[in-house]
Amino acid sequence: MWFLSFLVVAQSTSLRDFPEFYNSEINHKPVQAGLNNAPVIGILTLPNVPYENFTINGTSYIASSYVKYLEMAGARVVPIRIDHSYAEFDYLFPRLNGILFTGGSANFWVNSSKVPILSPDYAAKGCYLYDLVKKANDQGQFYPLWGTCLGFELLHVCANNQFATVGNFNGEPSYTQVHQFTSAATVSKIFTGLSLQFGQQVMSIMSNQNVSLLSHTHGISPSTYQQFPNLSEMYNILSIMHDKSGSPFVGMIEARNYPIWGTQFHPEKNLYEWNQNSIPHFYNAVVMSTYMSNFFVSQTRKNTNVFPQNELTPQLIYNWPPIFIDSYFETINAFN
């Protein structure tokens, strides 16, 4: 009679046991027609040398936590390899449904002079994709983009192309911080697009609990938005955070007229990175991270680009299995 006991247990647990979800309008939304329920998201790889020097057989890499972060919300991942040509980028772009810029290490400029010369690799390649995203949206296609930490800073560099866009901050070793949300956050797509009620709950968590992991030596000062009108014309600041010295920096942004979002903090680490004691793994930290993942992937479903299966299969991240490095990242995917 074991199966009867199983049925009793199964029937005794339902969404009603989780009122914060059951009572949310997100649980009662009808299925939307016309969405792409097989989204494929491109992740720009980062150069391994001289920034990380992981002992791997690869010139570039992606931290696997970003891959799993997107996969958990129902997306597949294709690496956009930074050492590949612009022609390869042009091939991939119309076949993808969105793009993510990860955190990590890479220089924005060839040197640290005050001449705003974009690097021939990371910033140049990233801003090329950024410009393609803007152009696609300007032409009427919905094409989302997300940047985390280094990628968040890249979104600002691409919008402003000024050396002084990125400032120095005291953000190492990693730490957690609450958010001071702006009025723009309460009406933002990221906190209303999935569910107004659920979005408000996540905002409350983020403003009252240390669920946002930061690991950075650079960032964007709020005063930079006053200094460079290009930034305030492009983005709404959604939150302000503070580094270990108390200096304020921009925590979250949402583009005013484009489906572009960015966070200085790392939502993916709460779910998949374990090598730093400061990373929060408690329930509400996971709620915040899964909300961010589900929001962005939900936006990529609005893009109807098609990647033919015979072309997609050799491009999927599955062709480069994760490598356990037990370092700053648990695992990475490496590319030659």
Which tens digits make up the pLDDT trace of 97-109? 999 999 998 877 6
Q: Percent of the chain, pLDDT > 90?
A: 78
Q: Are strands 331-335 and 60-63 parallel, antiparallel or unpaired?
A: antiparallel
Rounded to a whole number of angstroms, the distance between the first and last alpha carbons of the chain is: 56
CA 81 to CA 63: how far, in whole Å? 13
Beta-bridge mates of residue 43: 79, 100
pTM of the model: 0.89
pLDDT of residue 15: 42
Mean pLDDT of 200-220: 98
Residue 29 — very low, low, confident or very high, per pLDDT cuts 50/70/90?
A: low
Mean pLDDT of 196-200: 96
Report which of 74, 12, 34, 179 is spatially closest to residue 4, judged by C-alpha positions: 12
CA 61 to CA 144: how far, in whole Å? 22
Q: Say yes or no to pLDDT of 7 above 50.
A: no
Which comes out higher in pLDDT, residue 52 or 210?
210
pLDDT of residue 23: 56
What mean pLDDT value characterizes the chain? 90
pLDDT of residue 125: 94
| Runs of H (alpha helix) within 276-331 | 283-300, 309-312
Instruction: Reduce the DSSP state of residue 184 to 3 states and report it.
Output: helix
Q: Please confirm whether the linkage preceding 321 is cis (ω < 30° from 0).
A: no
Q: Say yes or no to pLDDT of 300 above 80.
A: yes
| 149 catalytically annotated | yes
Check 149, 156, 158, 179 and give the catalytic one.
149
pLDDT of residue 326: 85
Residue 69 — very low, low, confident or very high, per pLDDT cuts 50/70/90?
A: very high
pLDDT of residue 18: 47
pLDDT of residue 164: 84
pLDDT, tens digit (0-9, with 9 covering 90-100), for 180-189: 999 999 999 9
Q: Say yes or no to pLDDT of 43 above 60.
A: yes
- Whole-angstrom Cα Rg for the chain: 20
- Contact between 251 and 238 under an 8 Å Cβ cutoff? The reply is yes
User: C-alpha dihedral over 210, 297, 318, 124, to 10 degrees?
Assistant: -80
- Both tokens assigned to 196: 């107004």
Q: Say yes or no to pLDDT of 53 above 60.
A: yes
| 242 catalytically annotated | no
Residue 28 — very low, low, confident or very high, per pLDDT cuts 50/70/90?
A: low
Q: Can you give the residue ranges of every domain in the chain?
A: 39-335
pLDDT of residue 97: 99
Check 156, 179, 216, 266 and give the catalytic one.
266
Report which of 231, 94, 102, 253 is spatially closest to residue 185, judged by C-alpha positions: 253
pLDDT, tens digit (0-9, with 9 covering 90-100), for 114-164: 545 445 588 999 999 999 999 999 999 999 999 999 999 999 999 998 878
Looking at domain 39-335, does it have CATH number 3.40.50.300? no
pLDDT, tens digit (0-9, with 9 covering 90-100), for 54-66: 888 899 999 999 9
Q: Indicate the range of 19-23, 78-82, 215-219, 275-279 predicted with least confidence.
A: 19-23
Q: Are strands 235-242 and 180-181 parallel, antiparallel or unpaired?
A: antiparallel
pLDDT of residue 32: 72
Mean pLDDT of 278-297: 98
